[in-house]
Each structure stands twice: as structure tokens, then as C-alpha cells.
């Protein structure tokens, strides 16, 4: 960063040396120059503070960490000045869409150990090319959006976290915060006797109360054309039954409110009703999370 320049002050007036006219002229020049000089000094000091802050509130780390919520410890350069309570973001240098954000909970300037309690993430994977910088508090009204870029297919009757290049279907929840969560999508199966499995689970210590419902289309030859269930506790899981036509999209939705009493994360999971028989949550399916 280039620092602002400060002009050299002119020779000041000298009462016992200068003649009267020269003294007055030098005095006028001195007063004007001093006025401008004071502004230049202020600009220089501000730039020096900014440069100092930029250097000492930025860091890099090669610590191997998986993107996720919770406490993350980075080994950074020594003598940085991160403070407990500040918000910071750690992003992959190669792809900043992969990041972790949260509050600093510990920093040892001597050893270079920095701990961030991650509350929000972007992307996925394990990274070793972190760039870390100060950030501002995240707005509580920020909406989390996930739109499946590619279909999520499963042959397992045990539902697993939905992963996608647009972001995994997991989101942090904070103690005292209320969230409305909506899932709007379609699914299809490879056999008429197979349904899908949509699940919601609390992880990383998350606790709270939940109320809402889930519903999915089922075999149109059955007495009903959709299966719906109330959600009153976690984990919750909707298992649909067979579909009318294989490999043909049918609706699946969820709408619930979660009141968090313990910070952590919620996961949206997908699986199949019948093991070894594929069930697919289709691309374009949508997850919306709104803090209330």
C-alpha cells in the first residue's frame, strides 16, 4: 500500500531576524502550509493504521480442515492481532466459494493458533489453502438457499446428507434463533415398488423444538395419491411408498419451524425406501432456510 506524501514545511518566520514585511510574508506562508500539512498528517496516520490493520488482521494457513460448523483451529502466522469476539472468514485461496465464517474464540499471537467457532459455511471438502480475514456480523435475516445442481441418487435405506456442488443441504442453527425451513422438489425411483426417504437430523450438538409436516407423492393406484406426516421431534423421516411410473418425477415437500435451544446444525438427508433399489431427488429441488 502506497502511503500519502507529506509536504515539507517552509522556513518559519523569525521575529528577531526577519524584517517586518518578510516576517509577515513568511508567517502567511507558514500558516497556510501548516494548515495543509495537518491534513496530510491525518491522512498519513489513517493510511498507516489501515496498512497495519490489513497486515495484522489477515493471515494464511495450511492447516487441513474440512468445511463444516463448530470449532476450527488454524495455525497462522505469529504476532497477528485477532481478538476474541471478532468475526472472521476463512476461504480457500483456490476457490473462495469454499469458506467458513464465525467468531474468534481464541487467539495466541505467540504460537499463531487461531480458533474460530464456525456458524456459516459455503462449499464443501477439506482444504489446506486458507486465507483468513476479519469480517462483519452476518445479518440474521440472511436466507440460506440450496438448489440441487445434480440429482441426488441413493440405493441405501439409511438416509445420508444431501451433497451438491451448489452446497450441501446442511445449515447452522444458533441458540435462541427461530428458523422456517422449506423443501420443494421432485423425486423418482427405478421401481414401482420403491419410494423415497427424506430425513431431517440435528447434528453438532443442535437441540430445539420442531413443528411442521412433510409430504410426498406415492403410488397413484393406492387409495391416496400422497403420503403426509406431521413433524414434532427430531430426527424426522418421511418414507414414501411405490410410484405409478418408474423414472417419472413426483412431488416431495416439507415445511417446518425449528426453535433452536442449542447451537449446531441441521442436515437434510436422502435415501431409498428399499435397499439396492435407486431413489433419486431430482436436480432443481430447493431448500430454503429463513431465520425469523
pLDDT digits (tens, 9 = 90+) for 188-232: 888 877 888 899 999 999 999 999 988 887 654 444 455 778 888
- Listed in sequence order, the DSSP H helices in 71-200 are none
> What per-residue confidence (pLDDT) applies to 112?
93
Count of other CB atoms within 10 angstroms of residue 49: 10
- 194 preceded by a cis bond (ω within 30 of 0): no
DSSP state, residue 70: E
**Least confident piece of the model among 2-6, 19-23, 82-86, 246-250:** 2-6
* 217 Cβ contact partners less than 8 Å away, ≥ 6 residues apart: 225, 226, 240, 243, 250, 251, 252
Quick one: 59 exposed, middle or buried, by C-beta within 10 A (0-12, 13-18, 19+)?
Answer: buried
Judge whether residue 60 has pLDDT over 70. Answer: yes
105: CB partners within 8 A, 6+ apart: 71, 84, 115, 116, 117
Give the Å distances, CA to CA, from 53 to 80, 81, 114, 197: 9, 8, 17, 50
Q: How confident is the model at residue 126 (pLDDT cuts 50, 70, 90)?
A: very high
Q: What is the DSSP letter of 95?
A: -
* Whether the predicted pLDDT of 260 surpasses 70: yes
* Alpha-carbon span 216 to 161, nearest angstrom: 19
What length is written for the chain? Answer: 292
**How does DSSP assign 243-272, residue by residue?**
-SSTT--EEEEEEEEEEEEE-EEEEEEEEE
Q: Residue 22: phi, psi to the nearest 5?
A: -65, -40
Closest residue by Cα to residue 255 from 151, 187, 180 = 180
Rounded distance between C-alpha atoms, residue 289 and residue 257, angstroms = 10
Asked if residue 223 lies in contact with residue 158, where contact means CB atoms within 8 angstroms, the answer is no
**Residues 6+ positions from 111 with CB-CB distance below 8 Å:** 78
H-run or E-run covering 24: helix 20-56
Give the per-residue pLDDT at 35. 84
Res 162: pLDDT: 93
Quote the pLDDT of residue 249. 84
Calpha distance 246→193 (Å, rounded): 9
Q: Sketch the domain layout of the chain as residue ranges.
A: 10-56, 58-135, 144-291
What are the grid coordinates assigned to 88, written together?
Answer: 472472521
Does CATH place domain 58-135 in 2.40.10? yes
Range 167-191 average pLDDT: 89
CATH number corresponding to 144-291: 2.60.120.760
Burial 12-22 (b: 16+ CB within 10 A, else e): ebeeeebeeee
pTM of model > 0.75? no
How far, in Å, CA of 90 to CA of 100, rounded? 5
Amino acid at each position: 500500500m502506497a502511503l500519502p506524501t507529506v509536504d515539507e514545511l517552509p522556513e518559519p518566520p523569525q521575529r528577531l531576524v526577519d524584517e517586518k514585511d518578510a516576517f509577515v510574508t513568511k508567517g502567511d506562508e507558514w500558516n497556510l502550509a501548516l494548515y495543509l500539512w495537518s491534513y496530510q498528517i491525518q491522512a498519513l496516520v489513517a493510511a498507516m493504521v489501515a496498512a497495519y490493520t490489513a497486515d495484522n488482521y489477515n493471515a494464511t494457513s495450511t492447516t487441513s480442515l474440512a468445511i463444516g460448523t463448530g470449532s476450527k483451529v488454524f495455525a497462522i502466522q505469529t504476532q497477528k492481532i485477532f481478538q476474541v469476539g471478532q468475526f472472521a472468514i476463512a476461504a480457500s485461496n483456490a476457490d473462495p466459494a469454499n469458506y467458513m465464517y464465525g467468531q474468534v474464540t481464541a487467539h495466541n499471537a505467540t504460537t499463531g493458533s487461531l480458533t474460530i467457532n464456525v456458524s456459516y459455511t459455503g462449499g464443501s471438502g477439506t482444504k489446506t489453502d486458507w486465507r483468513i480475514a476479519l469480517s462483519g456480523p452476518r445479518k440474521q435475516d440472511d436466507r440460506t438457499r440450496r438448489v440441487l445442481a445434480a440429482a441426488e441418487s441413493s440405493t441405501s435405506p439409511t438416509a445420508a446428507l444431501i451433497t451438491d456442488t451448489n452446497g450441501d443441504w446442511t445449515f447452522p442453527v444458533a441458540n435462541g434463533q427461530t428458523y422456517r425451513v422449506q423443501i420443494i422438489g421432485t423425486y423418482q425411483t427405478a421401481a414401482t415398488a420403491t419410494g423415497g426417504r427424506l430425513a431431517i437430523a440435528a447434528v453438532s450438538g443442535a437441540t430445539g423444538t420442531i413443528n411442521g409436516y412433510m409430504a410426498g407423492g406415492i403410488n397413484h393406484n393406492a387409495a391416496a395419491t400422497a403420503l403426509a406426516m406431521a413433524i414434532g421431534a427430531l430426527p424426522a423421516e418421511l418414507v414414501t411408498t411405490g410410484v405409478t411410473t418408474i423414472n417419472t418425477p413426483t412431488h416431495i415437500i416439507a415445511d417446518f419451524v425449528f426453535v433452536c435451544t442449542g447451537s449446531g446444525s441441521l442436515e437434510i438427508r436422502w435415501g431409498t425406501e428399499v435397499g439396492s433399489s435407486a431413489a433419486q431427488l431430482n436436480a432443481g429441488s430447493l431448500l430454503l432456510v429463513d431465520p425469523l
